[in-house]
Amino acid sequence: MPENIESWLAEHRIESIRIEGTNLEGAFIGKNVSPRKFASGLKSGFAFADVAFGLDLGNAPQFGFAMPSWRGDLADIFLHADLSTLVEWSPGRASVIGGFWAPDGDPVSACPRNALQRMTKLLADRGYDAKVAVEIEATVFEESIQEARSKGYRDLTPLGGNAGSAYHLAKSKDWEDYMLAVARRLEELHIPWEAWGDEAASGQIEFNVAPADPVTAADYWARIRQVMREVAFEQGRCVTFMAKWCDEYGQASHINVSLERDGENAFYDEFGPSQVMTHFLGGVMATLAPATSFALPAITSYRRLQELEGPPTTVAWGVANKSTAVRAVVGHPKYSRLEYRTPGADANIYLVLAAVLAGGVAGLDGKIEPPEPFDDMAWCLPPGMPKIPNTISKAAEALRADTLLTGVLGQELVDYWLGTRQWEWLQFHTTGGDPDAGLTEWESNRYFELP
């Protein structure tokens, strides 16, 4: 963080600063301010209408639920910049990420970044530093976003050709050019990417980023998606983070979590999960069904949940078992971790991480024992194993019935979230969606470009 902001802005010849945050829908929102306005707003915060947290992705106001005290008749809420995130985004332009606060100085309960900060602090209060790495999947297309819009986001051409998928290097140069440009931009922004490659479908890529504290990891996620969109615009391409952009291919956003204590991996034990990992996992598994509402936030999110297609369908965990919802990586002093495999590429990572950490906190506090590890393939099972909720309404119901996750995450956030999920369900069914059809135009129009 620069010691003197005004000097930093002058040194970098900054003409505008983009102040940024992530709303409840997972969209990267913000506005551009002059250096003078930026300096004056650092203490007071930057005003946004409260509907920044009250519009759906179709731009309709969300109604149908009780609203907390920070919502009013288009009242102001304030984005407070976290100056540790200040970077030169491009020549003449800076970027800074923040969280949202009410006029009375209380954090906006529905601000995902605030929620994640709270959960991180709860762990810190218990002596643990969480380390998180987020996998980012997306599909890139030959078409520009303008062409995609004119085609209704249908019949697009995945960049790099259709021959093969998953680790193939025989991709056309246009694909490499795009990915190399993204990686270069990440270097410029000091985002420590580790790997990228061809994922499991045509045009699909995966970016891996180095582990970081939860809020930083989520900030990376928000910025990488923005970079991927901007590079696509520059190259006349487009990119989507839909959970499924067509009926065939889904995309995920797996989350890897571990806890450190005094600089050592607290999940590590020579012979398997440590006691800390065991209890954290116990809480994560006990809250996996209600947390699905956060991991799979949209109508399309649930289209991924097909047996044998990659995403988990069963509430189960296993050691080195990628067919389960949570994969435990054990026995390594550095890499022992939990991989949370439910989230779709459309998940709001701040929120999902907050939910996962909240589950972990509940597990640590309650010394919750997880179910037995599942050693077989966790797809196509006979009846008996609990299933991950497979619709937005079932997931909402699981969250509504929960007390464990809500007790840590906060009733106000959960209630507000559930209100918005009821709205999303209602809008899908009553404004053109069809639960019995494949991917609908309603979904393409709503989710291709946002969040």
71 vs 279 by CB, closer to another protein: 71
Under rule CB under 8 A, residue 164 binds another protein:
no
Which residue of 42, 74, 124, 308 would you call a contact of another protein, by CB under 8 A?
74
Under rule CB under 8 A, residue 434 binds another protein:
yes
Q: Which stretch binds another protein (CB under 8 A): 79-87, 235-243, 353-361, 391-399?
A: 391-399
Under rule CB under 8 A, residue 66 binds another protein:
yes
Under rule CB under 8 A, residue 435 binds another protein:
yes
Which residue of 393, 400, 407, 450 would you call a contact of another protein, by CB under 8 A?
393
60 vs 180 by CB, closer to another protein: 60
Under rule CB under 8 A, residue 410 binds another protein:
no
Please report how close the Cβ of residue 69 comes to another protein at its closest, in angstroms. 9
Please report how close the Cβ of residue 70 comes to another protein at its closest, in angstroms. 10
Structure tokens at 263: 């600089």
Q: Which stretch binds another protein (CB under 8 A): 24-32, 89-97, 101-109, 386-394?
A: 386-394
Please report how close the Cβ of residue 12 comes to another protein at its closest, in angstroms. 41
129 vs 441 by CB, closer to another protein: 441
356 vs 439 by CB, closer to another protein: 439
32 vs 393 by CB, closer to another protein: 393
Q: How far apart are CA 121 and CA 127, in angstroms?
A: 10
The sheet carrying 46-49 orders its strands as 28-33, 16-22, 93-101, 76-90, 46-49
Which residue of 29, 39, 65, 213 would you call a contact of another protein, by CB under 8 A?
65
Under rule CB under 8 A, residue 445 binds another protein:
no
- Spatial neighbors of 319 by CB under 8 A, at least 6 apart, are 272, 273, 327, 328, 329, 330, 373, 375
39 vs 51 by CB, closer to another protein: 51
64 vs 263 by CB, closer to another protein: 64
41 vs 419 by CB, closer to another protein: 419
Which residue of 85, 235, 391, 445 would you call a contact of another protein, by CB under 8 A?
391
Q: Which stretch binds another protein (CB under 8 A): 33-41, 60-68, 116-124, 171-179?
A: 60-68
Under rule CB under 8 A, residue 436 binds another protein:
yes
7 vs 431 by CB, closer to another protein: 431
Which CB contacts under 8 angstroms, 24+ apart, belong to 31-40?
A: 32/93, 35/6, 35/9, 35/10, 38/5, 38/9, 38/81, 39/5, 39/6, 39/9
Which residue of 73, 104, 125, 155 would you call a contact of another protein, by CB under 8 A?
73
Under rule CB under 8 A, residue 437 binds another protein:
yes
Under rule CB under 8 A, residue 106 binds another protein:
no
104 vs 436 by CB, closer to another protein: 436
Q: How far apart are CA 25 and CA 143, in angstroms?
A: 26
Which residue of 43, 64, 271, 383 would you call a contact of another protein, by CB under 8 A?
64
- Binding map of another protein across residues 414-433, x = CB under 8 A, - = no contact: -x---x--x--xx--xxxxx
120 vs 444 by CB, closer to another protein: 444
Chain contacts with another protein (rule: CB under 8 A): 62-67, 71-74, 391, 393-394, 415, 419, 422, 425-426, 429-437
